Amino acid sequence: MKIYNTLTKQIEEFEPLHPPEVGFYACGFTVYDFTHLGHLRKYTMDDVLIRTLEHAGYKVKFVQNVTDVGHLASDEDTGEDKLEKGAKKYGSSVKAIARKFEDYFFRSMDLMGNKRPDVSCRATEHIQEMKDLVELLEEKGFTYEITDDGIYFDTSQFEDYGELADLNIEGLEEGARVAKVAGKKQPTDFAVWKFERPGENRAMSWPSKWAKKSFPGWHIECSAMSMKYLGPQFDIHTGGIDHIPVHHTNEIAQAEAATGKKPFVKYWVHHNHLMVEGEKMSKSLGNFYTIDDVLERGFEPQALRLLFLSTHYRSQQNFTWDSLAAAQKSWDRLKKKWLKWQGEVDGEEVKLSVGAKNFQEKFFAYLEDDLKTAEALAVLWEVVGSDLSAAEKIQLLKEFDQVFALQLEKVNPEVLELSAEVEQLLEQRQIARDKKQWDLADQLRDELLDQGYEVKDTANGQEVSEVVAVK
């Protein structure tokens, strides 16, 4: 198994610290608003990585946090907490907003077929662990206090600060990466613990040795919780590429400073962004979409999953409704084939032929080479179009689905089965529509109606239903 390591900037052979156990931490969602398609892609690809590791024989302990306090706007050490901002936006309490959007996050993950973490840890339930970590950093001389502001990590005391992101520390100007804060010694210094300022009246604050009302910095949360559940050193930490220069760089500094320079994480895995119609997702642009938007347009989550699998996790992906419609057609085709083959076999496993084993080896070789999902997906379609027996196809697809998690075995068997002649007419009609040969398309629709099938054109393609004769 090989994976690209952001820390070393190369694809490496995966060798966990304590095989076959793998400690896996994923930066979780900040629960102040709806989970969108960009989040869905990141966590779906995390899911594929976990399933690939498990198929390769590893035992993964999957830990994921819930950020329900401390995440200030845009990585800054000033400004409003995102949870408080969300509470004001939706006219509710911070706790109610956090639970609402945490529930929405997990509902979205469940619909996508993603595994739930073994440990889901809320920041608000680990305040003591965070305070303990800050106190340890203080004892070791890695922090300083800015009056009426907070406790800051002194990056000049940490020799390898910025290694993950290849930061040019000397060339950094304050304000270019995070907001300017009066009293900071270096532009790269960051808050590990913040004080409530006079008049702020924050909804979430806790007493500490430094202030009566105070709260954790965002970065300290992930270090404290990941080390609580996975130990001072673990194997894989994932996140978006936007986390590299600040959040993950700061996680490394504070964790390794606390443990005496023990390497915090062995493999850093980062996902690229999802664009929408070629632009960054934004509510102001009207292209902020959630799983409910997908469902309301008649698409299935498995189609979205297929779409995500078609692009490598380290490559930027552009989402369009047309691309999702194409993925839905592919999913519909796969479901029909699956049901057809299911009807041809008795359910017993068969001995795979040499050709089937070659497909099997190719599929998992691609996944175990830095998660090449697009190439593995192409192998799946090769199997679908091959001359293997129905039993072999079923057996291979079941194994592939352990990783792709399209949930083929849950496909509704009541899907309308069509004759070869009807399938051919539908294919001819689709070709006619693609070529804008509308008269021919109408003629073929009439032929289908004569055979007892009504065709409707939808965003998902042609939908077919049997015509019930009126007696």
Structure tokens at 38: 């960009």
What percentage of residues in the chain have a pLDDT greater than 70?
Answer: 93
CATH superfamily of 2-271: HUPs (3.40.50.620)
* Largest CA-CA distance found in the chain, in angstroms, rounded: 88
* Res 133: pLDDT: 98
Q: Which CATH number is 276-410's, of 3.40.1350, 1.10.3470, 1.20.1070, 1.20.120?
A: 1.20.120
Q: Please report, as a single letter, which amino acid is at residue 331.
A: W
CA distance 190 to 24: 25
Give the model's confidence band at 470: pLDDT under 50 very low, under 70 low, under 90 confident, else very high.
very low
* Res 333: pLDDT: 92
Same fold, 2-271 and 276-410: no
Give 402-448 pLDDT, tens digit per residue: 999 999 999 977 655 677 788 888 889 988 888 889 999 899 998 88
Structure tokens at 339: 């049901």
Average pLDDT along the chain: 91
* Res 170: pLDDT: 60
CB atoms within 10 A of CB 141: 10
| Strand intervals (E) in 280-346 | 317-319
How would DSSP label each residue in 372-430? -HHHHHHHHHHHHHS---HHHHHHHHHHHHHHH---GGGS-TTSPP--HHHHHHHHHHH
Domain residue ranges in the chain: 2-271, 276-410, 420-466
CA distance 420 to 426: 10
What percentage of residues in the chain have a pLDDT greater than 90?
Answer: 71
Give 2-54 pLDDT, tens digit per residue: 999 999 999 999 999 999 999 999 999 999 999 999 999 999 999 999 999 99
- Does residue 417 contact residue 340 with C-beta atoms inside 8 Å? yes
